[in-house]
Structures are given as structure tokens and as C-alpha cells.
């Protein structure tokens, strides 16, 4: 009974707190980016102001089916994080996240906008780039813990990071794609340097675009939860290290975003697959060997 109560508490905490934490991280991102570029930058709460303005605007959509796809995208993003923080199966979590991305892509294709369609095509290419590393991360946790369940991994006495260093580095690498940071912000970007206007969300506005922004805040917190999982060892100091590393990883992504120009989609796929092959699969072989000895 206590396990179910704890699960419900974590899920409710994620659903309530994640958009606020995600919005604050987005505001801090903008502030740090501005300072790196020699600007003052907007206030940290600016993302909340922007989303508030979006919800006040008159809804204008190319077709009604777009709103349905965005709503499905939003619901599946919520479900992804809820499954993760409820301690459920990692494969189920990854599958739900993929379904959410597919809904957003189909919504972009339905607009018949050339900018949105090119952005959707690039989003598909990015999925091909990062999915292998995400799956290898789940397999690594399974080999280490003997279970795909997040709850089993969190309660282990050993820290997965020491056995999954290569997979950790590979996962942080593909976070650049998932956080939509340069050099791999190919399908859309939250900054003004996107040559596709806003990529696959070009034809969205008002409440619909506001839902997409909030969904990305939820998604970012969930992805940082993946990073946190590498440092869980059943102790408070392990959790503390996990939180610190999550913040450090996010700052690293902001630094990379402001240090590299956008690269071609071929570079994104080739580099992500090379990282998955060398760091991901290599780490799995080493881990399997260590467990056999």
C-alpha cells in the first residue's frame, strides 16, 4: 500500500511541479545565453509570460486536425513522465515518448506548409539519430539491475554511473538533439537563428503553441530524470549528486548551444550512431564481462 501511495505522490509532484521547473530552466537558459552573447537578456520568468500571452491570443489553425494531434502529443508527454516517475518499465516509457513525437510530426505534415513539412522530415531524421542511444541506455540499466523497472533501478545499492560511464556520456550527447540545441537544432529552435522560422511548429499559434511549449518543459524534466537515474544508489547523497549532475548537464547543453553552429542532418545521424556504437555497445560488452567475472 505504501508503495502505491509513494508512486501517486511522485506522479502528482511531476505533473504539478515539472512545468514550473521546466519554465524556470528555460528562463535561465535564455539569461545565460544572453550573457554569453554580451546581452542583458529577458527576465528569468519570461517563458511564463510568453506562454501566458499565447493562451490569450485568438486560436487560428490551418485545420482542426492539428489541434487534435497537439493534444495527443501533450497527453503522451504527460504519460511518459508519469510512467517514469511512477517507477514503471523503461521500455514502456521510451515507447510512449516515441508515440508523442510521432503525433507532433504528423500534425506538422497535416498543415501542408513547406516550412513545417521540412521541419517534420528533419524531426524524423533526428528520431533516427537518438533512438538507438536511448534504447541502449535502457538495455544498460537492465543488464546492471536485472530489471527495466525504474523503481528497481532507483532502489539499487550500487550507483549505475560507475558501470555505465560510456552510456552516460552517450546519453548526454543525444540530449543535445532532444533539448533542440545547436549544433543539432535541425527541426525547430527556441532561438531566433532558426532558418526554418520555427520548423515543424511554424503553423501553430495561440493556445496550441502554448501547449507545445509546456509539453517541452515537461519533456525536459523527464529527460533530466533519466540523467538522475545514473546516480541513484538508495542514499540521500546519491540523490543529491544526481540533482547536481542534472543541473551541470543542462548548463553544458546551454554552453554547447552557444559554442557551435548548426550542422547538417547527415552529421547528426552519423555522429549519434557512432557514439551509440562506440560508447553504448562498447559499454554493454564491458559491463557484461565485468558481471561474468
Predicted confidence (pLDDT) per residue in 143-185, tens digit: 988 889 998 998 888 889 999 999 999 999 999 999 888 888 8
Average confidence (pLDDT) over 87-114: 90
Q: Check: CB of residue 6 under 8 Å from CB of residue 25.
A: no
How far apart are alpha carbons 27 and 204 in whole angstroms? 22
Taking the C-alpha atoms of residue 198 and residue 179, their distance in angstroms, rounded to an integer, is 15
User: Which residue in the block uniquely carries the three cell numbers 554580451?
Assistant: 38
Number of other CB atoms surrounding residue 147 within 10 Å: 15
With cut-offs at 50, 70 and 90, classify the pLDDT of residue 197: low
What is the band of 92 on the pLDDT scale with cuts at 50, 70, 90?
very high
Whether the predicted pLDDT of 228 surpasses 90: yes
CA atoms of 160 and 130, how far apart (whole Å): 21
Burial class (CB in 10 A: 0-12, 13-18, 19+), 286: middle
Mean pLDDT, the chain, rounded, equals 88
Q: pLDDT at residue 290 above 80?
A: no
Task: Select the more confidently predicted residue: 53 or 189.
Answer: 53
Q: Is the peptide bond before 183 cis (omega within 30 degrees of 0)?
A: yes
Specify the pLDDT at position 4. Answer: 81
d(CA 150, CA 141): 9
Whole-structure pTM value:
0.91
Distance CA 185, CA 144 (A): 32
How is residue 87 annotated by DSSP?
T
Pure H helices in the chain:
2-36, 46-56, 64-85, 90-109, 114-145, 150-154, 165-178, 206-229, 236-257, 265-275, 282-292
- The more confidently predicted of residues 2 and 131 is 131
Strand, helix or coil for residue 71: helix
Q: In terms of C-beta density within 10 A (0-12 exposed, 13-18 middle, 19 or more buried), how is residue 153 classed?
A: buried
Please state, in angstroms and rounded to a whole number, the distance separating the CA atoms of residues 97 and 50.
25
C-alpha cell at 134: 536511448
Amino acid at each position: 500500500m505504501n508503495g502505491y501511495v509513494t508512486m501517486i505522490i511522485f506522479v502528482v509532484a511531476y505533473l504539478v511541479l515539472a512545468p514550473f521547473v521546466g519554465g524556470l530552466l528555460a528562463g535561465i537558459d535564455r539569461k545565460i545565453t544572453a550573457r554569453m552573447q554580451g546581452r542583458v537578456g529577458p527576465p528569468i520568468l519570461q517563458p511564463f509570460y510568453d506562454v501566458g500571452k499565447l493562451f490569450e491570443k485568438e486560436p487560428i489553425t490551418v485545420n482542426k486536425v492539428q489541434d487534435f494531434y497537439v493534444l495527443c502529443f501533450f497527453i503522451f508527454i504527460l504519460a511518459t513522465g508519469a510512467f517514469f516517475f511512477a517507477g514503471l518499465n523503461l521500455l514502456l516509457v521510451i515507447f510512449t515518448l516515441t508515440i508523442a513525437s510521432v503525433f507532433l510530426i504528423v500534425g506538422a505534415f497535416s498543415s501542408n506548409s513547406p516550412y513545417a513539412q521540412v521541419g517534420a522530415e528533419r524531426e524524423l531524421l533526428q528520431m533516427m539519430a537518438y533512438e538507438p542511444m536511448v534504447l541502449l541506455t535502457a538495455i544498460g540499466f537492465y543488464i546492471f539491475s536485472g530489471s527495466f523497472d525504474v523503481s528497481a533501478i532507483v532502489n539499487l545499492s550500487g550507483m549505475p554511473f560507475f558501470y555505465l560511464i560510456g552510456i552516460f556520456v552517450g546519453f548526454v550527447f543525444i540530449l543535445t538533439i532532444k533539448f533542440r540545441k545547436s549544433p543539432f537544432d535541425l527541426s525547430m529552435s527556441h532561438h531566433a537563428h532558426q532558418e526554418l522560422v520555427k520548423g515543424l511548429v511554424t503553423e501553430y499559434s495561440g493556445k496550441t503553441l502554448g501547449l507545445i511549449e509546456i509539453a517541452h518543459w515537461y519533456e525536459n524534466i523527464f529527460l533530466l530524470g533519466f540523467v538522475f537515474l545514473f546516480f541513484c544508489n538508495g542514499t540521500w547523497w546519491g540523490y543529491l549528486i544526481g540533482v547536481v549532475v542534472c543541473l551541470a548537464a543542462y548548463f553544458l547543453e546551454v554552453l554547447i548551444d552557444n559554442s557551435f553552429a548548426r550542422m547538417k542532418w547527415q552529421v547528426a545521424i552519423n555522429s549519434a550512431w557512432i557514439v551509440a556504437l562506440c560508447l553504448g555497445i562498447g559499454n554493454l560488452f564491458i559491463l557484461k564481462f565485468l558481471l561474468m567475472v
